């Protein structure tokens, strides 16, 4: 019996202690006709660890072997071996939520360190212990902005069209049930940046917040100072959506404009979490001190024990569902503890210089790649704005067709912008520090052949 330790003698002794004749007797409160006997026939027979491992090895191998230049919200980076060797230690991997603080000081201190790291990366005051991912984190930030912006009575938030469309759709799916409306701000077709002039139409109207993505979905860097100051001048909070790797190189949201962003969220995956088909990742969420009571999710505080010794504990729990029930700031219960633990180890290993170098190489490699690809006839940069580590290229042929042909050569050449932006010939391409000169050449060569 997989993972069940009981011998026939154990079972007999346990039933005797209960005073039952059989295990089936223990289900005597369930109406007989509801029982599922014989209804699980579509399930296969159980397999040994060796056999399941062999099966999954075969499946995993089917998906391996390509060189990928896909980003669009999830990025390949080198992950030091120590990160997951430590994160998957049983003491982290198989621990529960740290409700019993005395027996969870390891996890609690890791979260406190994580909170500190995230506030330092983003130049914000406080951080929570993470939410599911960047996109759902934005939904939480939008709902939080409605609570936090006491000057606004609006249930509307301005969202740039140049925001990752997967963030927009997930946020929409989550907030629309509470009658919250997202209104779109267009981008400049030439530069690929949010159109500041378009904001003028919204002056004098009541919105809870403006979302600013840095970089935006196209990889373009936004004029964050002007956007932030405009939002604040018009009574809105600023919700920043940022890439954590980029934070080492570019102005953090806490320093945008005169007063800085109010709430910051983002996808934490680039900090030591593998691509892994989209999860588990973690969303980070930071804010100004004055909004901390409106923040959803777990928050850890440093305190002392009854002998005056330093210790860590869950705090401000009166915001959370297990205390406040229907009046909680969110229904969120779990954080992404393990991924967050990995990110804490990753960020500590890299330090300020290491993370800066990762960001710089990702930027520089993407520049080199874009230069190589735009040297091919008919391939051009779609936009003129400066970029971080992602760039939109227009091709002389439909993007879907080109990407499929590249995939046949085991080059995953980015994502198409045809569906989301009606840019039929445009692809979004990313390179990071993991891409070697040969990888970039491979892409260049493959694209030449496909377009020839």
Partner 1 sequence: MSETQLIFQLSHPGRSATSQAPKALSDDKLSAIPAHLRRKQKPALPEVSEMQVVRHYTNLSSKNFAIDKQFYPLGSCTMKYNPRGANRAAMLPGFLNRHPLAPESHSQGFLSCMFELQNFLKEVTGMKGVSLAPMAGAQGEFAGVAMIRAYHEARGDDERTEILIPEAAHGTNPATAVMCGYKVREVPVGKDGDVDLEALKEACGPQTAGLMMTNPSTCGVFERQIEAISKAVHEAGGLLYYDGANLNAILGKVRPGDMGFDVIHMNLHKTFATPHGGGGPGAGPVGVSERLLPYLPTPMAGQRDDGSYHWIDSDTLDTSIGHLSAFMGNAGVLLRAYFYARSLGREGMIRVGEFSTLAANYLLKRLEAVGCTAAYPDRRASHEFILTFAKEAKELGVTAMDIAKRLLDYNQHAPTTYFPLLVPECFLIEPTETESKEALDEFVDAMAAILEEARTEPDMVKEAPFTQPVRRLDDVKAARELDLTWSE
Q: Is 233 in the site for partner 1 (CB under 8 A)?
A: no
Instruction: Single out the residue of 146, 158, 210, 247 in contact with partner 1 (rule: CB under 8 A).
Output: 247
Q: Which stretch binds partner 1 (CB under 8 A): 181-189, 196-204, 230-238, 355-363?
A: 355-363
- Among positive and negative, which fits the CA dihedral 238, 243, 244, 247? negative
What is the radius of gyration, based on Cα positions, of the chain? Answer: 25
Identify which of residues 48 and 153 has a Cβ nearer to partner 1 in the complex: 48
Q: Is 409 in the site for partner 1 (CB under 8 A)?
A: no
Q: Is 13 in the site for partner 1 (CB under 8 A)?
A: yes
Q: Is 153 in the site for partner 1 (CB under 8 A)?
A: no
Rounded to 5°, angle at Cα 263 from 257 and 264: 90
Rounded to 5°, angle at Cα 222 from 212 and 165: 55
Q: How many CB atoms lie within 10 A of CB 214?
A: 25
Mask of contacts with partner 1, 29-68, x by CB under 8 A? xxx--xxx--xxxxxxxxxxx--xx-xxxxxxxxxx-x-x
> Is 281 within 8 Å of 268 (Cβ atoms)?
yes
Q: How far apart are CA 406 and CA 379, in angstroms?
A: 15
Q: Which stretch binds partner 1 (CB under 8 A): 109-117, 149-157, 201-209, 373-381?
A: 109-117
Identify which of residues 235 and 311 has a Cβ nearer to partner 1 in the complex: 311
Q: Is 355 in the site for partner 1 (CB under 8 A)?
A: yes
> Could you tell me the smallest distance in angstroms from the CB atom of residue 204 to partner 1?
29
Q: Is 127 in the site for partner 1 (CB under 8 A)?
A: yes
Instruction: Single out the residue of 126, 237, 369, 423 in contact with partner 1 (rule: CB under 8 A).
Output: 126
Q: Which stretch binds partner 1 (CB under 8 A): 97-105, 144-152, 187-195, 205-213?
A: 97-105
Identify which of residues 63 and 422 has a Cβ nearer to partner 1 in the complex: 63
> Could you tell me the smallest distance in angstroms from the CB atom of residue 236 to partner 1?
22
How far is C-alpha 218 from the chain's CA centre? Answer: 17
Q: Is 142 in the site for partner 1 (CB under 8 A)?
A: no
Residues in contact with partner 1, counted by CB under 8 A, come to a total of: 198
Classify the phi-psi angles of 399: left when phi > 0, otherwise alpha if psi is within -120 to 50, otherwise beta. Answer: alpha
Identify which of residues 117 and 199 has a Cβ nearer to partner 1 in the complex: 117
Identify which of residues 165 and 235 has a Cβ nearer to partner 1 in the complex: 165
Identify which of residues 46 and 204 has a Cβ nearer to partner 1 in the complex: 46
Contacts by residues 398-407 (CB-CB < 8 Å, ≥ 24 positions apart): 398/424, 398/425, 399/423, 399/424, 399/425, 399/426, 399/427, 402/427, 402/447, 402/450, 402/451, 403/427, 405/450, 406/443, 406/446, 406/447, 406/450, 407/66
Q: Report the first-to-last Cα separation within the chain, whole angstroms.
A: 59
**Residues 411-440 contacting partner 1, CB under 8 A:** 412, 415, 419, 433
> Could you tell me the smallest distance in angstroms from the CB atom of residue 201 to partner 1?
26
Identify which of residues 186 and 278 has a Cβ nearer to partner 1 in the complex: 278
Q: Which stretch binds partner 1 (CB under 8 A): 197-205, 257-265, 341-349, 435-443?
A: 341-349
**Residues 180-209 contacting partner 1, CB under 8 A:** none
Instruction: Single out the residue of 195, 229, 259, 386 in contact with partner 1 (rule: CB under 8 A).
Output: 386
Nearest partner of 340 among 285, 278, 262, judged by Cα: 285
Q: Would you state the structure tokens that stand for residue 119, as one six-digit string?
A: 């506030």
Q: How far apart are CA 40 and CA 36, in angstroms?
A: 8
> Is 115 within 8 Å of 126 (Cβ atoms)?
yes
Instruction: Single out the residue of 157, 238, 240, 339 in contact with partner 1 (rule: CB under 8 A).
Output: 339
């Amino acid at each position: 019996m997989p993972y069940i330790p009981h011998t026939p003698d154990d079972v007999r002794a346990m039933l005797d202690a209960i005073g039952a004749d059989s295990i089936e007797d223990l289900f005597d409160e369930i109406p007989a006709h509801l029982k599922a006997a014989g209804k699980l026939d579509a399930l296969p027979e159980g397999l040994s660890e060796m056999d399941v491992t062999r099966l999954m090895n075969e499946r995993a191998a089917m998906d391996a072997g390509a060189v990928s230049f896909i980003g669009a919200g999830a990025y390949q980076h080198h992950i030091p071996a120590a990160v997951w060797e430590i994160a998957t230690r049983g003491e982290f991997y198989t621990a529960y939520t740290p409700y019993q603080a005395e027996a969870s000081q390891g996890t609690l201190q890791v979260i406190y360190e994580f909170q500190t790291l995230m506030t330092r990366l983003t130049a914000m005051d406080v951080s929570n212990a993470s939410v599911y991912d960047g996109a759902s984190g934005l939904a939480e930030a939008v709902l939080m902005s409605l609570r936090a912006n006491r000057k606004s009575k609006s249930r509307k938030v301005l969202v740039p069209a140049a925001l990752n469309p997967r963030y927009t759709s997930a946020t929409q799916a989550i907030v629309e049930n509470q009658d919250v409306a997202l209104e779109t701000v267009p981008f400049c077709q030439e530069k690929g940046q949010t159109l500041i002039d378009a904001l003028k139409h919204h002056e004098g109207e009541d919105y809870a917040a403006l979302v600013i993505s840095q970089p935006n979905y196209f990889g373009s860097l936004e004029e964050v100072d002007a956007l932030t100051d405009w939002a604040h001048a018009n009574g809105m909070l600023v919700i920043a959506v940022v890439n954590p790797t980029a934070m080492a190189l570019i102005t953090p949201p806490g320093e945008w404009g005169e007063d800085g962003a109010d709430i910051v969220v983002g996808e934490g995956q680039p900090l030591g979490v593998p691509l892994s088909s989209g999860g588990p990742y973690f969303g980070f969420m930071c804010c100004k001190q004055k909004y901390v009571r409106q923040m959803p999710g777990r928050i850890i505080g440093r305190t002392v024990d009854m002998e005056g010794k330093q210790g860590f504990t869950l705090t401000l729990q009166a915001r959370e569902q297990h205390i406040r029930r229907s009046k909680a700031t969110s229904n969120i219960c779990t954080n992404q503890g393990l991924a967050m633990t990995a990110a804490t180890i990753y960020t500590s290993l890299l330090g300020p210089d290491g993370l800066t170098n990762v960001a710089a190489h990702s930027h520089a490699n993407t520049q080199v790649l874009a230069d190589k690809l735009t040297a091919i006839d008919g391939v051009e940069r779609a936009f003129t704005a400066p970029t971080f580590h992602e760039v939109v290229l227009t091709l002389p042929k439909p993007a879907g067709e080109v990407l499929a042909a590249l995939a046949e050569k085991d080059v995953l050449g980015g994502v198409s912008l045809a569906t989301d932006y009606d840019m039929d010939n445009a692809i979004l391409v990313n390179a990071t520090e993991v891409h070697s000169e040969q990888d970039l050449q491979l892409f260049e060569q493959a694209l030449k052949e496909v377009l020839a």
